[in-house]
């Protein structure tokens, strides 16, 4: 019984001592601004500030990186924010009622492992779809199809003549007219063979009528 009582008294005195030491530390108004360590002109908003000494009590910086709250001298505070390395600061003993500080947090880059996305559930499905896949024609195959005889004939029937084709046909006709402008055109009235053919056709017509009667 005496041992339990003695242990209880020792624990009580130890707790009282720690509590008295905490109470002995002066209270200060702890204020400051959190900046990006790589660029001091850039503030870090909404940084979480944890007072490790005071039972992990937490405060939060505003959207401009500014914070201000009551703490004690010799308190240990940890600044944490997503994407930045945490930083720990201890409030020094200066005997002042306020303490102002500029905190610089260093950006922390986390390299995630490479992740590959496959649209096939298994390797066999991929092989099957790959082997049955219809490959697109390359430039050479497309040119060969466009220059084939059937393709050119189909386009010639449907597509209108271009300006170059019309100009070439007109020039060819003009050339033929110039070559024939001094030539005499034959008159069928002066052709004895034509007269003989005409007389034979008339005679054959008369004979066919007589046979019909």
pLDDT bin (cut points 50, 70, 90) of residue 125 is confident
| pLDDT tens, position by position, 146-185 | 888 888 888 878 878 778 888 888 888 888 888 777 766 6
Q: Is 48 exposed, middle or buried (0-12, 13-18, 19+ CB in 10 A)?
A: middle
At residue 134's C-alpha, the angle toward residues 133 and 136, to 5°, is: 130
- Report d(CA 48, CA 61) in Å as an integer: 7
pLDDT at 130: 80
Q: Does residue 99 surpass a pLDDT of 80?
A: yes
| pLDDT tens, position by position, 139-148 | 888 888 888 8
Mean pLDDT score across all residues of the chain: 81
> What is the pTM (predicted TM-score) of this model?
0.45
Strand-pair partners of 72: 27
pLDDT at 191: 72
**Domain residue spans in the chain?**
24-105, 115-183
CATH architecture, range 24-105: Sandwich (2.60)
């Amino acid at each position: 019984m005496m041992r339990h009582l003695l242990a209880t008294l020792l624990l009580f005195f130890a707790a009282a001592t720690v509590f008295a030491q905490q109470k002995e530390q002066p209270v200060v108004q702890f204020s400051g601004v959190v900046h990006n360590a790589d660029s001091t002109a850039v503030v870090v908003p909404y940084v979480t500030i944890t007072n490790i000494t005071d039972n992990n009590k937490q405060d939060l910086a505003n959207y401009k990186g500014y914070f201000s709250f009551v703490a004690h001298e010799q308190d240990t505070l940890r600044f944490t924010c997503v994407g930045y390395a945490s930083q720990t600061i201890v409030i020094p003993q200066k005997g002042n009622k306020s303490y102002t500080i500029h905190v610089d947090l260093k950006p922390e880059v986390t390299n995630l492992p490479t992740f590959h996305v496959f649209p096939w559930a298994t390797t066999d499905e991929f092989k099957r779809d790959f082997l049955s896949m219809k490959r697109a024609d390359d430039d050479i195959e497309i040119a060969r199809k466009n220059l084939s005889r059937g393709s050119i004939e189909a386009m010639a029937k449907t597509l209108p003549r271009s300006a170059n084709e019309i100009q070439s046909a007109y020039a060819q006709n003009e050339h033929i007219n110039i070559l024939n402008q001094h030539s005499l055109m034959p008159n069928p009235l002066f052709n004895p063979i034509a007269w003989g053919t005409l007389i034979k056709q008339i005679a054959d017509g008369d004979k066919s009528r007589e046979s019909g009667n």
